[in-house]
Structure 1
Amino acid sequence: MRTWWRGRTLHDRVSLLVAGAVAAAVLLVSAGAWLTVREIQQDKISAELLADARTIAEHPWQWLSTKGARTGPAQGGPGGREIGPCWQILDSTGAVAGGSDTGLPVTPLATRVATGRHAGEALEEIGLGPGDYLMLTVPIEGGGAVQVAVDRDPDARVLALFALLLAVGCGAGIAGAALLGRTVARAGLAPVDRLTGAVEDVAVTMDLSRPISVSGNDEIARLGRSVNAMLAAIDASRRAQRALVEDAGHELRTPLTSIRTNVELLLAVERRPELAHRLPPQERAELLADLDAQVRELATLTTELVELSREETSRESIEEMEFAEVVTAAINRVRIRAPGLVFDAGLSPVTVPGRPGELERMVVNVLDNAAKWSPPGGAVTVRLTPAGVLTVADTGPGIAEEDLPYVFDRFYRAPAARSMPGSGLGLAIVAQTATQHGGTVTAGGNRPHGTIVTVRLPVQEPR
């Protein structure tokens, strides 16, 4: 059943649910109506029997003397039934003293009522001829009892006819519910069909720049706006990916061209030894050193590109960590690469939620940038406040005002930096990591000269 249900369309499911709900309601109401009518009939019959029995019990001997006052032949030929209830009087021993033309059976319970061994009335169902009767036995003051019975067949026929009418009504109601469910499903899911068609059109055309038409404020409209937001995010991601590939291709072309030229020169000398005098040993050593530097730069660029395009699925999990320890580890790494610089660190303990490896790489990139621009013997000042603000200041030439808005862009290199080693991705990775951790990064001038980079990260509130 579950497999069958899952194989139905949403229209069919809604139609079946609506039809099932209406059918259940109709059946419950019909069953309740039939049970209510039956209860009312039974109460009415019981009340009439009790009233008749008490009337006879008040003057039982007068009823015996006027035998047949409430009796008469039923229409329809000989052997007809009594009109009105059948009645019978029992004496104190339980023997029949008299009654209507149709005699009633003296049951053990009726005998106990007549002899006084059963207190109160006794109601029984009996078979009398071809019919079913309901018999009530009421004690007489001073001894004896009155039996009154009524045929239940007419009431049973009424109940059967009423049940038939209810069954016909239920069938018509369920059929109408099925049609109504189909109509409701078609009308209610029309916006979903339109949204599905629009999404399928986007999937075919791959046109992410055209939003889906959305109107209203209902759940379908919210879904449409969410789809539009998702399409916009995918479009932005695709544009960023395309820009990254194009920029990476442009940046990789230069070192690759230089490496190829140098390698071809070395190969030409190796293939034609008579031209070796054109490449003296000193120039050959410089050429090999240049090749080594270019290969290192290419490896660095490749690593930074991989870091910049890292997917969320391959990233570390977020944890609460002591940011001062991360900054200390980053300073120790950079200090090895820049032994001629002084690192002045003032770090306050602060707990931040984040990915330790990514945050350490972010701090290393900031420190590497400061070390690259600091003069020999210069100082790099690192400060971390309890508010989660990290500042790294160097004593280099600083960044020109016109270059400040672009220093965190991918592959951007200021005119003064183009002669220096680097890819233009270090600070872009810093900005991306800070943003992914809910923080910000800014760059500005450091007095009297130099640059100061400020990273602000959200702090974990103490528990």
Structure 2
Amino acid sequence: TAIGAGAAVALAVVVASVVVFFVVRGELRAQIDDTLEERAQEIFRIPLSEIPLRNGESFLGIQPGFGEPNTLVQVVKSNGKTLRQLYDDVELPVSDEALTLASAGMRGDSVISETEVAGTHVRVLSVAYEPGFAVQIARPLTEMDAALSRIRLFLIVIALSGIGIAAALGLVVSRAALAPVRRLTEAAERVTETGDLSERIELGGRDELSRLAASFNTMLAGLEDSNRAQRQLVADASHELRTPLTSLRTNIEVLAGDRALPAEERGRLLSDVVEQLGEMTTLIAGLIELARAEQRTAAPEDVRLDLVAADAIERTQRNRPSVAVKARLEESVVQGVPATIDRAIGNLIDNAAKWSPPGSEIEGDVRDGQVSVRDHGPGIADEDLPYVFDRFYRARSARGMPGSGLGLAIVRQVAETHGGDVVAEHADGGGTRMTLRLRRAAKVAIS
């Protein structure tokens, strides 16, 4: 993420600053160490002597002109005593390493250390000179410490500036990168507050956030279609129920009235009431079947399409003895929910039986994952063909016949949930052929 990248840049700046500081300090120390080594080599070429004074003290005799004014030279004896130059008032502390070099060191053995002398930070080179003697050469680190202090300050300023710039850039980049997330959040909040499923997010780019926004838009579109279908279903159901309910109420009021009715008229009214109740029962059963199909979560399984079709044909012939069915059933296996597939095939056969004239024959074929049902009825008008699978749609020629207008809608819903489709077409020689195709290759989730 952009914030992580900014943090990484800030960390890199800090690490680089620390590395630069230690590298510079190492280089400065190396230069001082080289100078001390040069002085030690020069001392090895110069005879050292101990010069006594009248007061009984002694000082170190070194050839005039040796060394720099800020370089201290001191000889350490193996007994711990020291000899300084005549005008040096500062005595270097004798370390254990220096005593070891004086007593047992080989000529040229050396060790470098740092210490404080009279409040001054110095770097000391201790080197074995002759048996019983070692030489200490010291140089103040005042200039180096001052330079390192300035460098440290500069690096701190640079590091803080780098962290600030990285934070600012990370903030800017993160705001730009998270803009789709904010739009997604705002859209979700607006949908929650208003219930308006037509809300969409503008897409731009091909990154993961754009894909997320596209998926969110697809989800909203699906919810909008589902909500629209539910509202349409309720509206259609209300419209379809209004007519039989009104007629049923009228007939019941007449039957319950005070006026005496002839037996023939009373029987006709009772027959109408029973018929209307049957129509309402069929309609409600269809609505329940549609609702159950939309909520179905049964796992798909292997289904022998030919066996299911054979059961549906047998059931139709049992319920409609006057209808003959000529079946050509080839073994065919699909993936799906057996109960819903059985209902869809049964609806196709029932629809064909309803439109078949007496003595005619229905043709049913099953092969390659599809079921074809053909009747020899009057056929479907061209203007009605695109709508025969819509809910509650009834062609003008069918409005005087029993039915809820939901049977073929259930067939289409079953086909779509199984990854297939259903089509209606004119058959050669008259009648209608309806073909239900189900996907065979892969399992589909029924939802």
State the distance in 2 between where 1:414 and 1:369 align. 13
Deviation at 1:36, TM superposition (A): 2.5
Identify the residue that residue 279 of structure 1 maps to in structure 2: 263
For 1:9, the equivalent position in structure 2 comes to none
Report what 2:205 is aligned to. Answer: 217
Classify 1:47/1:332 alpha carbon distance in 2 versus 1 (closer, same or farther; 3 Å): farther
Sort the Cα spacing of 1:128 and 1:335 in 2 relative to 1 into closer, same or farther, 3 A: farther
Residues 349-388 of structure 1 mapped to structure 2, 5 A cutoff = 349-375=331-357, 378-385=360-367, 387-388=368-369
Specify whether residues 452 and 215 from structure 1 end up closer, same or farther in structure 2 by C-alpha distance, changes over 3 A only.
Answer: closer
- 2-structure distance, mates of 1:241, 1:398: 31
Which AA in structure 1 matches 2:14? L
Does the CA contact (< 8 Å) of 2:303 and 2:337 recur in 1? no
Partner of 1:457: 438
TM-score by length of 1: 0.75
- Partner residue in 2 for 1:37: 24
The match for 2:55 is none
Is it true that 1:53 corresponds to 2:40 in the alignment? yes
What's the % identity of the aligned pairs?
41
The residue number in structure 1 matching 2:117 is: 128
CA distance in 2, matches of 1:207, 1:37: 65
Distance between the aligned counterparts of 2:41 and 2:178, measured in 1?
A: 66
Match of 1:107 in 2: 95
Offset, 1:168: 4.0
Residue 427 of structure 1 and its aligned partner are, at CA, apart by 0.8
Task: Establish whether residue 70 from structure 1 lines up as the match of residue 54 from structure 2.
Answer: no
Shift of 1:434: 1.1
Distance change in 2, residues 1:210/1:23 (3 Å): closer
Q: Which amino acid aligns with 1:265?
A: V
C-alpha contact 2:125 2:136 (8 A) present in aligned 1: yes
Offset of residue 174 of structure 1: 4.5
- 1:294 pairs with 2:281: no
Write the distance in 2 (CA, Å) between the matches of 1:22 and 1:221: 26
* Match in the other structure for 2:395: 414
Looking at structure 1, the residues matched to 6 and 229 of structure 2 have their Cα atoms a distance apart, in angstroms, of 50
Structure 2 contact 347–411 (Cα < 8 Å) conserved: yes
- Residue 153 of structure 2 is matched in structure 1 by 164
| Structure 2 match to 1:430 | 411
Q: Could you tell me which amino acid in structure 2 is paired with residue 57 of structure 1?
A: F
Cα distance change, pair 150–338 in 1 and its aligned pair in 2 (3 A) = farther
Q: Which residue of 2 aligns with 1:27?
A: 14
SS across alignment from 1:429: helix
Unaligned runs of 5+ in 2: 50-59
What is residue 54 of structure 2 aligned with on the other side?
A: none
* 1:8 match: none
Task: Tell me which residue corresponds to 2:57.
Answer: none
- Partner Cα distance (2:46, 2:225) in 1: 102
Range 253-262 or range 119-128, more displaced: 119-128
Q: CA deviation at 1:402?
A: 4.2
State the shift of 1:134 in Å. Answer: 3.0
Letter in 2 for 1:111: L
Q: Which residue of 1 aligns with 2:425?
A: 444
Tell me: CA distance 1:443–1:215, structure 2 relative to 1, closer, same or farther (3 Å).
closer
- Cα contact 2:303–2:336 (8 A) shared by 1: no
Q: Which residue is equivalent to 1:316? A: 297
Retained in 1: the 8 A contact 2:187–2:199? Answer: no
Indicate how the Cα distance of structure 1 residues 97 and 221 shifts in structure 2: closer, same or farther if over 3 A, else same.
closer
Judging changes above 3 Å, is the alpha-carbon distance between structure 1 residues 265 and 162 closer, same or farther for their aligned structure 2 residues?
same
The 2-side partners of 1:58 and 1:323 are apart by 108
Contact kept in structure 1, 2:121 and 2:142, CA below 8 Å: yes
Cα distance change on mapping 1:381 and 1:57 into 2, 3 Å = farther
Q: In 2, are the aligned partners of 1:341 and 1:379 still within 8 Å (CA)?
A: yes
Letter in 2 for 1:290: D
SS where residue 384 of structure 2 aligns?
helix
Deviations 1:290-346 (A, max 9, x none): 32232122122122223335585x312342322425444544544443344444444
Contact 1:57–1:146 (Cα < 8 Å) also in 2: no
**d(CA) in 1 for partners of 2:164, 2:179:** 23
Moved more, 21-30 or 362-371: 21-30
Aligned equivalent of 1:404, options 365, 385, 388: 385
| 8 Å CA contact retained: 2:203, 2:214 | no
Q: Which structure 1 segments of 5+ residues have no match? A: 1-12, 73-82
Q: Which amino acid letter does the alignment assign opposite residue 413 of structure 2?
A: Q
Shift of the alpha carbon at 1:439? Answer: 0.9
Between 144-153 and 229-238, the greater mean CA deviation after superposition = 229-238
Matched letter for residue 441 of structure 1: V
- Alignment partner for residue 73 of structure 2, among 87, 94, 99? 87
Conservation of the 8 A alpha-carbon contact between 1:38 and 1:159: yes
Once the two structures are superposed, the pairs formed by residues 226-241 of structure 1 within 5 Å of their partners are: 232-241=221-230
What is the deviation of 1:443? 1.6
Counterpart check, 1:305 vs 2:287 = yes
The one-letter code of the counterpart of 1:167 is I
How far the C-alpha of 1:426 sits from its partner, in A, is 0.9
Query: Where in structure 2 are the equivalents of 1:114-263 lying within 5 Å?
Result: 114-116=102-104, 120-140=109-129, 145-175=134-164, 214=202, 216-217=204-205, 232-263=221-252
Measured after TM superposition, the shift of residue 287 of structure 1 is: 3.5
Distance 1:199 1:103, change over 3 A: closer
Asked whether the equivalents of residues 374 and 396 of structure 1 are also in contact (C-alpha less than 8 Å), the reply is: yes
Q: Deviations over 1:25-80 (max 9, x none)?
A: 443333233233223233333333333323333445499541672253xxxxxxxx
What displacement does 1:226 show? 5.7
